Structure formats: structure tokens, C-alpha cells
Amino acid sequence: MAHSLRNLMDTNRLVRVLEAHTPLCGLIAQAAEFKSPTVTRKFDAVWSSSLSDSAIRGKPDIEVVDHSSRLLSLHELMDVCSLPVIYDCDTGGNHLQLRSTVRSLERAGVSATIVEDKGGLKQNSLKGNMPGQLQLPIEDFCAKLQSAKTWQRNSEFMVIARIESLVLGNGMQDALTRARAYLRAGADGVMIHSHHQDPDEVLEFSKEFRRSGERAPLVAVPTTYNAVNEETLFQAGVNVIIYANHLLRSSHKAMKQAASSILQYGRAAECEELCTPVGDILRCFDT
């Protein structure tokens, strides 16, 4: 799995990744396909999101769900889904905690993890520059990356550095400086994050990153800037796009509407249009 994901990221094409927070989500991601006379699109990997893993447990996204608990769920996902898995590691904790998590992810068969360069109280980045969110000094995060990379056993496993400079208001130059430093420290790629609704700063970062001749994988997560199309991101230099929470959010909306409909009408007939037929669910597991 790790080998196949690294090979995908090294090719000159876009890698699409979809969030999957349950084994059923993994089956959906694996089976999803769009075909036209000129193009076929499928997902290449799945994303194990800390937001989703916290939300399905009714917990806030502040690293309160430990990695051991999340790994148990990952085993169930990987039992039924053969796509490579990229794991959202949040900050990864301290050096020793990150080392342990990397070893556990390798043993589980996970292909890559993304570690963010925040320190202090972890808050979801889509909230923007919230009080208590700090960015680690460059040298401290580089040491953390080096520690993780020297501890891993499988050379195909990828540790990708997530840069929070744009979210925390530290500027474009800081983001670019960090990207280069993190790659020199051993990161296998970088993820640039933004909470703005337009993609301009992500596109600017990507172009500047590639203009220097850098060929490492570059990851973007177009959650808030969702009007930008994949080709625009790809042409700017992004080669991995993660749709990071869309199965969680779409299921949450449908479940709320179904629950309200049953209470409103005193029966289930009106919510059937929100529901997949039972037969289609059963056919997901036909062997």
C-alpha cells in the first residue's frame, strides 16, 4: 500500500483522496466512479480525518480521541477497503508520541501520515486564527520530523508536513520558508492549508513552490475554497487533493433531516427520499 501511494504521488497526475470515517465510507470511496466518453475519474486513496473520527464519537476536534482508539477503527476500514490510507495525525504530540504513532501506522498498513506544525491547544484550522493556536518554531518542527523519519522502518511510508502559516496569519514567505526547511529535514511532501473561501493564496503558494524547482508532493484541501476546480489546482502545482470531510458532512445533513421528518409526520414515508433503499445497502456486502 505504501509503495503504491508513493508511486502515485511520483507520477505526473492528480491524486484524489476522499475522507472515509467508517468501513462503509471506505466501500463507497472505493466503488465511486465517474465515466464520460473522454474521462474516467476515481478516488486513489482515503483520508482518515481527525475531525471525522472525533465527530462520530461526539467529541470536539482537539486531539481528545487518542491514536490507539482511531487505529482500531482503521483496522476495520482496511479490512474492506483496499485503497491506500493517509492518516491525519494532527500535531502528533511530542517527539516520542509521534515516533510511536508512526510505528503503529506502519504496522497497520497505513501509507502516509500528515503532521501539522502547530503547538499549544489544538483547534480545527477551519476556525481560522483562534486564540491558543501557535505555530512551532521551524527548528523545533524540523527536529520532530527528523525524529519521526529516523524511527520508521518502511522506507515507503510517507510523513507529510502540514503548514499552518496562512491559517495563523504568518504570511506567504513564512509558509514557503517552512516548506523548504521541512523537506530538507526529511518530510516526504508538504500540505498547504487555508481557511479562506477563495483559492488565491493556495494558488500563489503552489506556483512559488514549484517555481523553485521543487518536485515533492504538494497537498491541498479545498474545503472552504471549494469553487476552484481540480485542474486549476493541478496546473498551479498541487498534485494531491484531499476531500477531507464531505462524507461526514453529507451524512450528518441527511440524518438530521430524516430524524426531523419522522418527528414531524409521525411516520417514515416522507424521509424515504433521503434514504438509500435497504436492498442497495445489502448489496454493498454481496460476495
Active site residues per annotation: 61
Place of cell 526547511: 181
In contact, 20 and 26? CB cutoff 8 Å: yes
CA 241 vs. chain centroid, Å, equals 9
Gap between the Cα atoms of 52 and 248, Å rounded? 6
Measured distance CA(161)–CA(144) in Å, rounded: 10
Closest of 135, 113, 101, 125 to residue 221, by C-alpha: 125
**Residue 119, class by beta-carbon neighbours within 10 Å (0-12 exposed, 13-18 middle, 19+ buried)?**
middle
Using a 10 angstrom Cβ sphere, with 0-12 exposed, 13-18 middle and 19 or more buried, the burial of residue 11 is exposed
Residue 244's Cβ-side half-sphere holds a number of Cα atoms within 13 Å equal to: 22
State how far the Cα of 37 lies from the Cα of 10, in Å rounded to an integer.
27
CA dist 193 and 222 (Å) reads 9
Residue identified by cell 511530542 is 94
